Structures are given as C-alpha cells and as structure tokens.
A and B are shown apart, each in its own frame.
Chain A
Amino acid sequence: MNKKIVLLFLFVPLLMALPVFAADSQWVLEQSTLAYHVSHPLHQTEGMSHAARGKGVCHDGQCDFLIAVPVKSFDSGDSNRDLHMLQVTRGAQFPMVTVRTRLPETVASSATINADLEVQFAGQTADYKQVPFQLTTQGNETKISGTIPATLSDFKIDPPTLLTLPIKNEIPVRVEMTWRKQ
C-alpha cells in the first residue's frame, strides 16, 4: 500500500508535466537557397547563398524562428562584384544577415502564410509585415518559398554605381527553404 502511494506520488507530477514538454517542438533548417536580385541599366544580377542556418522553437502553439546567413556567402558569379557588395553592405563589420519571425505552430498545415519578418542586415533592422510565403508539407518536412521585398534604403545602403549609373533601390530576396520538424 505504502509502495503504491510512493509510486503515485512520484509519477502523477511527471504525467501532469508531460503535456507541457510534449507541446514543445523544434524546427531545423535543412536546405536553403537565398537569392538577392540587383537591377542596373546594363546588368541584371543575382547573388545566391546556400549557407543559411535556421532554427525554430515552439511553445504554447507559437514558434519563434531565427534564420541567419553570412553576407560573405552570397555568390553572384563575379568575385569583384561580391567584394563590392560586401563593402557597400558593411559585410565585414556586420557579417551576418538574420531574420526573425514568430508563427503559429498550426501554419505548417497551411498552403500559404503571411509572416512578419524582422531582418537585421548591414547594422540596421527592418520590419517587413505580412510577407506572403508558399508552404508544402510532406511528413516532417516543410518547404517554404517566397520573396522578401527588401530595398537598399531599408538598410541605409548607398546604391553602388557602375559607369556612374546606380543600381535600383529594390533588391528583392527570393527565399526557398526546407525545414524539418524535430
């Protein structure tokens, strides 16, 4: 009898605490392609990176995501342009681009989401509200694609020039990511 009481005493709190732990889940960024697009009267250029890492932590039905990518990892196929990009974006001083967002845990089952993004880049922080993304979920994997409507002025970056002609202010960033739930 005493043994049973002791066991009950030990297990009931654990059993009650279980749902709390079970509600926690994590997401890990498996694969990613981030590409910025630059427009110039003489050039249309894309710089691409596959070096992003990301993590999502879910609690109480809300998930906090952090995605980070080194500025240096973007490759436009022209080393001279990449170094120039690194310079104008102050990429050595602020080597990482980070994106934070909070989403309801249930969105994984949606086909589209609108996310509020907080982007830190070039020593500046810019908020993008209701950025649409497309989702495809298969098992534990969710593929997300969309475009962040970034501009140079959002991050106080002076537009680089080629032959005295500046590039356009708009530098949309195409995002393709595969997340795995853990």
Chain B
Amino acid sequence: MNVKEARVLNGLGILMLSIAISQPLQAQTSQPSPNNQPASTSHEKTPPSDNLPDAPSGSKTTEPSLGDLGFPSAQTQSNPEEQARLDKRTHMLKIHQRMGLITTVPLLATLLTSLNAGGKNTSTTSRNVHNALGAVTADLYFTTAYFAIRAPRIPGTQTKGPIRLHKALAWIHGPGMILTPILGIMAYDQRNRGEKVHGLAAAHAPVAIITAGAFGAALLSVSLKF
C-alpha cells in the first residue's frame, strides 16, 4: 500500500465514522413516530397525555407546550375559589333577574289600581287594593335588590356596557321605592281622614311614576340591545 492509497483509505474511514456519528444526531431531532407511521397522521394517534397543554416539551415530543408561550403562571393556573365565587354570583344574579321580572307584575298592577285610588271619586276598597299591591311590590323589589347587592364582586373587574346604566338607574328607583310607600301611607291617611292629599304626600304619584319608569328602563337596559 503506497502513501496515496493510505490517504484515500484514511479519508474513507473518516467519512464512514462521520456518518456513524451523525446518525444519532438525526435520531434525536426527528419527530417521534411510535408506530412508524408518517408524521401527518400521528396527531390523531398521539396519546392524550402528550396532548396536554402542560406536557413538557422536548422530552418525548417536540410539540410546543403551554409553558413555551410565556403566559404568567397565575394566568394559566386553575382557581377553584374564583370559580366558586363566579358560580355564587351567577346564581344570585339569576334569582335577581327572575325576581325583577316577577316584581314587574305587581308593579304594573299597582300603577293600574292607582287610577281608582287617587282623585276625587275613590273608594276605601280601591285604596286598600292599591295599598296591598304597593306593599307586595315593595317587598318583592327589596328582595330583588338584596340578591344584586349581596352577589359577590369579582376583583379586578371594570364595569362597562349596559350594566352601567342598569346600576345607575338603581340610584333612582332605589330611593324611589323607599319614598313611594312612605308618601303613599301619608296620602292614604289623609284620604281616609277625608282630606285632600296635600304637602309631601302630594308627591306620591310623581315619585311613583319616576320610580316605575326607572325600574322599567333598568329592566330593558339589560334585556334589549340599543
């Protein structure tokens, strides 16, 4: 064997060695295909545990994991307490919504019976019916309000959208619902004494109309899109 042949053999040897060394490198970076199937179909065959977003990347699979996306851990972690708070909030607001709808029935009836309760030609019976319906309305109203007021607040929530109007209107119909029965009792007493409704009691009807209007608007504000 001359020098030239020795060099060629050396070169071939190195080349073979290089190929042998590079194979594991390729094996490490290629896509794992457990059943020797093409990569395009392995998505459906991948075990469910490998598909979990939190599955660590780079161990068995090269699929990106949720950790690779850089979300703060607080944002990706489950929060059962907050879920319980949301569940309670929704439950209470559902009752609030239902009670609010129920309240509209005696409210409308109270408004209708007010036509016979006031004015010159009224009877004690019509005033009593109006009075009773007003009392039922007030009771249902405050029960409705209770469920909204006591519903848990979710920290970090900025109120926006129609709910802002809904809440703002509560500042009108809330005090209105306190004032209206008080003024109503005053007016009722004055009428039963045979007096003409006078003084503060004379504001009973206007306050009641404003209150009912605000209540109706509050109901519509979260029901209709405008």
Contact = CB atoms under 8 A, between A and B. Distances in A.
Interface of A: 1, 5, 8-9, 12-13, 16-17, 20-21, 24, 42-44, 53-57, 59-62, 64-66, 68, 70, 72, 76-81, 83-84, 86-88, 90-96, 98, 100-102, 104, 116, 118, 120, 125, 162-163
A72 B74 CA distance: 12
B82 A92 contact: yes
Contacts of B154: 83
A86 B11 CA distance: 67
Contacts of B159: 79-80
A163 B86 contact: no
Contact of A16 (B19, B53, B158): B19
Interface in B11-42: 11, 14-15, 17-19, 21-22, 25-26, 29-31, 39-40, 42
- Most interface-central of B14, B42, B70, B158 (chain A CB within 10 A): B14
B102 to A, nearest CB: 12
Nearest to B160: A79
A1 B87 CA distance: 79
Nearest to B30: A60
A163 to B, nearest CB: 6
Contact of B62 (A64, A83, A84, A98): A64
A146 B19 CA distance: 45
B90 interface: yes
A92 B83 contact: yes
B89 A9 contact: no
Contact of B51 (A79, A81, A118): A118
Contacts of B79: 92-93, 95
A80 B64 contact: no
B78 interface: yes
Contact of B70 (A1, A12, A53, A77): A53
B118 interface: no
Contact of A163 (B15, B19, B66, B101): B101
A95 B62 contact: no
A95 B75 contact: yes
B162 A78 contact: yes
A95 B21 CA distance: 46
Nearest to B163: A80
For chain A, what secondary structure do more than half of its interface residues adopt (helix, strand, loop), or is it mixed? mixed
Interface of B, secondary structure class, is helix
B76 A13 contact: no
Interface of B: 7, 10-11, 14-15, 17-19, 21-22, 25-26, 29-31, 39-40, 42-44, 48, 51, 53, 57, 62-66, 68-71, 75-80, 82-83, 85-87, 89-90, 93, 97, 101, 154, 157-163, 166, 222-225
Q: Which 4 A-B pairs have the closest CB atoms?
A: A78-B161, A92-B82, A12-B18, A92-B83
Contacts of A42: 223-225
A66 B29 contact: no
15 contacts: A8-B11, A12-B14, A12-B18, A20-B26, A62-B31, A64-B63, A77-B161, A78-B161, A92-B85, A92-B86, A93-B79, A95-B79, A96-B71, A102-B40, A163-B223
Contacts of A102: 39-40, 42-43
A75 to B, nearest CB: 9
Nearest to B11: A8
Given A80-B163, A92-B83, A163-B223, A12 B68 contact: no
B69 A86 contact: no
Given A9-B14, A59-B29, A98-B53, 10 more contacts: A16-B22, A20-B30, A24-B29, A66-B63, A68-B71, A80-B161, A92-B79, A92-B83, A93-B78, A163-B223
